């Protein structure tokens, strides 16, 4: 479905332009769950919904948008429908860094086919970096959408853990886990897309998080092409497709998942101690 990829890339490109334009006057507010939302989130959401209308009106496509998810339905309801294509949008992933003018935020959009990761795009406007998967290959593009763009195919990574290694996590991790080893440094971000995309090009050996479906959808097919997998910290089972039992009513994963290579998963899990 080449048209779907073209529309996806146009959404993250123009969504990134909106984010850059509104960054100095984004007017952050707190939602009921204490997460941050800005005018830019809403503007990118509106853009994506308008661009995806031709797909959504067919009945074969459905959009899960962080900013309008209350109108979408529960995981149990949505995933029980016979809808082959599910889009998941995070208008600005890393809204808290964005509201504080930090660069590790992105516009993230993924398309899942038959509940499995398929197409995805994650664009970091301030850093001018794009990660995307076309359904066959994944790509890292520096200076995308402009003169001098440089595109590199993402291939398998399996970093040997050493004192130079970095394991990326969200701030929630320090409340629930103790990091037990000094041979691999823990780095905390407030941006799921950084946790997922960066290890796919060797910026870190993996990550740990418990996120919403829109947090992982854009990067899910990308990390797969890098040979990385989300695995449950409890069971070690891989996250391969959307299943209703995996999510709570808000579309958040019920368990924490480690993103890593198969070889590094047990090594990283052993460094985490539940508090």
Share of the chain above pLDDT 70, in %: 97
Concatenating the DSSP letter of every residue in 38-54 gives -HHHHHHHHHHHHHTHH
**The pTM is what?**
0.95
pLDDT band for position 189 (cuts 50, 70, 90):
confident
169 in Cβ contact with 188 (< 8 Å): yes
In which element (H, E) is residue 76 found? helix 75-79
Residue of 40, 52, 49 lying closest to 6 (CA atoms): 52
Q: Which fold has domain 165-274?
A: D-Maltodextrin-Binding Protein; domain 2 (3.40.190)
Q: Beta partners for 112?
A: 86, 117
- Whether the per-residue pLDDT at 28 is higher than 90: the answer is no
pLDDT at 30 over 90: no
Query: With 80 as the cut, is the pLDDT of residue 216 above it?
Result: yes
In the numeric block, the tokens 């997998």 are attached to 229
CA 41 from centre of chain: 15
Name the segment(s) of the chain with CATH classification 3.30.540.10: 2-154
Cβ atoms 47, 93 nearer than 8 A: no
As annotated, the residues of the chain forming the CATH 3.40.190.80 domain(s) are 165-274
Rounded-to-integer distance, Cα 167 and Cα 147, Å: 33
Structure-token pair, residue 6: 């073209």
Distance CA 75, CA 15 (A): 26
Annotate 121-138 with DSSP letters as a single string. Answer: EEEETTTTEEEEE-SS-E
pLDDT at site 274 = 82
Domain 2-154 has CATH 3.10.580.10: no
Question: pLDDT by residue (tens digit) across 75-100?
Answer: 999 998 889 999 999 999 998 899 88
Predicted local distance difference test score (pLDDT) of residue 89: 96
Max distance between CA atoms of the chain, in angstroms, equals 53
Cα separation, 134 vs 141, in Å, equals: 13
Q: What is the mean pLDDT of residues 205-222?
A: 95
- Range 25-39 average pLDDT: 75
């Amino acid at each position: 479905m080449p048209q779907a990829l073209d529309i996806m890339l146009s959404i993250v490109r123009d969504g990134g332009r909106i984010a850059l334009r509104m960054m100095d006057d984004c007017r952050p507010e707190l939602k009921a769950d204490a997460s941050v939302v800005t005018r830019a989130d809403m503007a990118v959401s509106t853009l994506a919904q308008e661009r995806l209308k031709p797909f959504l009106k067919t009945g074969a496509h459905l959009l899960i948008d962080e900013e309008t998810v209350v109108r979408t339905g529960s995981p149990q309801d949505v995933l029980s429908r016979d809808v082959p294509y599910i889009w998941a949008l995070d208008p600005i992933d890393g809204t808290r860094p964005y509201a504080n003018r930090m660069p590790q935020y992105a516009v993230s959009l993924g398309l899942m086919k038959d509940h499995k990761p398929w197409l995805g795009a994650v664009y970091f406007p301030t850093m001018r970096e794009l990660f995307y998967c076309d359904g066959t290959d994944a790509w890292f593009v520096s200076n995308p959408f402009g003169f001098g763009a440089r595109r590199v195919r993402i291939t398998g990574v399996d970093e040997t853990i050493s004192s130079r290694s970095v394991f990326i996590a969200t701030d929630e991790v320090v409340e629930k886990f103790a990091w037990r080893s000094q041979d691999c440094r823990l780095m905390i971000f407030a941006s799921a897309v950084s946790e997922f995309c960066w290890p796919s090009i060797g910026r870190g050996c993996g990550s740990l998080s418990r996120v919403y479906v829109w947090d992982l959808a854009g990067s899910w097919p990308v990390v797969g092409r890098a040979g990385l997998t989300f695995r449950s910290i409890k069971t070690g089972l891989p996250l391969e497709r959307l299943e209703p039992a995996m999510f709570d009513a808000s579309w958040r994963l019920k368990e924490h998942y480690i993103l890593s290579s198969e070889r590094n998963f047990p090594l990283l899990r052993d460094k985490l101690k539940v508090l």
